[in-house]
């Protein structure tokens, strides 16, 4: 199990302990923690467990310098920031670790900014319905924060949504998979290519984006680099620019 997974599992356990303690405290107003430990065995056990889990979190945080944590989301960064500030580590250890963490956060913020600058403004946004535009925003955000596989899969959802809407509005919706009980449905790519005579450039872009997403979803060995994700988003942008406006 990775250090990151262990660390956030312990943080989750710590939060659950605090929640259970708070529930007991709410049922015993006006009683101090020390007195509650004397009269309530469950509360005493939770207090001991809280100390143990806090020590385990401190120990895992000491491994942070040797094994940097990658691709933290905003909630995870806030969680770690809290524990670095409240840790029971010695002052020298804690300040060193906290400074390391702040430097890490700064580097991540710079990386996010650089990634976002690589995404040009989306062309022809009027070609997207609000629901699809929301998917695009999520795809860019996933890329920005390092979730490259998710970004590529969302790009596929976007082009399929655009293409399917166009097919339906062109009077060919009955040909889609599952739309005709008497005949085997046809794929979006087949309909675009053979029924609507879509330009080869659009066909290639569609195949490229769908193919990448299929590999991610069905091949455990498939790797997705930042460059792969950026190229997929750029291909999506070009697809939207070249694709006929939905009727």
Note whether 142 and 108 are within 8 A (CB). no
Q: Could you tell me the two tokens for 173?
A: 């919706």
Q: What is the pLDDT of residue 201?
A: 93
Q: What is the DSSP letter of 186?
A: B
pTM of the model: 0.53
Q: Which residue has the tokens 């999520």?
A: 138
- What is the per-residue pLDDT for 4? 73
Count, in order, helices (H) and strands (E) of the chain. 10, 0
Distance CA 93, CA 164 (A): 57
pLDDT of residue 211: 92
The alpha carbon torsion through 136, 115, 143, 125 (nearest 10 deg) reads: 10
pLDDT at 90 (0 to 100)? 45
- Give the HSE-up count for residue 211: Cα atoms under 13 Å, Cβ half-sphere: 9
Q: What is the sign, positive or negative, of the torsion defined by CA atoms of 215, 218, 221, 226?
A: positive
Q: Residue 179 gets which letter from DSSP?
A: S
Q: How far apart are CA 213 and CA 204, in angstroms?
A: 14
Report the C-alpha gap between 100 and 108 in whole angstroms: 12
Please give the domain boundaries of the chain with CATH numbers for all domains.
3-116 (no CATH), 125-242 (1.20.120.330)
Between the CA of residue 38 and those of 20, 35, 74, what are the distances in Å?
A: 17, 5, 39
Element holding 110 (H helix, E strand): helix 91-117
Query: What's the pLDDT at 199?
Result: 92
The mean pLDDT values, 10 residues at a time, for the chain of 247 residues are: 78 86 83 83 89 80 58 68 56 52 58 65 60 81 82 91 89 74 75 91 94 88 88 90 75
């Amino acid at each position: 199990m990775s250090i990151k997974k262990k660390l956030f599992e312990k943080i989750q356990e710590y939060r659950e302990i605090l929640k259970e303690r708070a529930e007991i405290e709410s049922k015993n107003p006006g009683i101090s923690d020390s007195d509650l430990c004397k009269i309530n065995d469950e509360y005493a056990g939770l207090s001991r467990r809280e100390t143990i889990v806090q020590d385990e979190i401190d120990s895992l945080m000491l491994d942070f310098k040797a094994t940097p944590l990658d691709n933290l989301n905003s909630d995870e960064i806030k969680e770690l920031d809290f524990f670095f500030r409240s840790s029971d580590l010695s002052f020298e250890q804690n300040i060193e670790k906290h400074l390391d963490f702040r430097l890490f956060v700064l580097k991540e913020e710079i990386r996010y900014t650089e990634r976002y600058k690589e995404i040009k403004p989306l062309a022809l946004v009027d070609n997207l319905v609000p629901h699809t535009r929301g998917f695009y925003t999520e795809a860019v955000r996933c890329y920005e924060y390092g979730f490259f596989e998710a970004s590529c899969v969302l790009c596929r959802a976007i082009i399929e949504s655009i293409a399917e809407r166009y097919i339906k509005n062109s009077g060919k919706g009955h040909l889609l998979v599952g739309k005709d009980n008497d005949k085997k449905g046809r794929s979006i790519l087949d309909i675009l290519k053979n029924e609507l005579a879509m330009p080869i450039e659009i066909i290639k872009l569609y195949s490229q984006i769908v193919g990448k997403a299929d590999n991610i979803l069905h091949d455990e060995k498939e790797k997705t680099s930042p460059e792969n994700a950026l190229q997929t988003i750029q291909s999506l942008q070009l697809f939207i620019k070249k694709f006929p406006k939905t009727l």
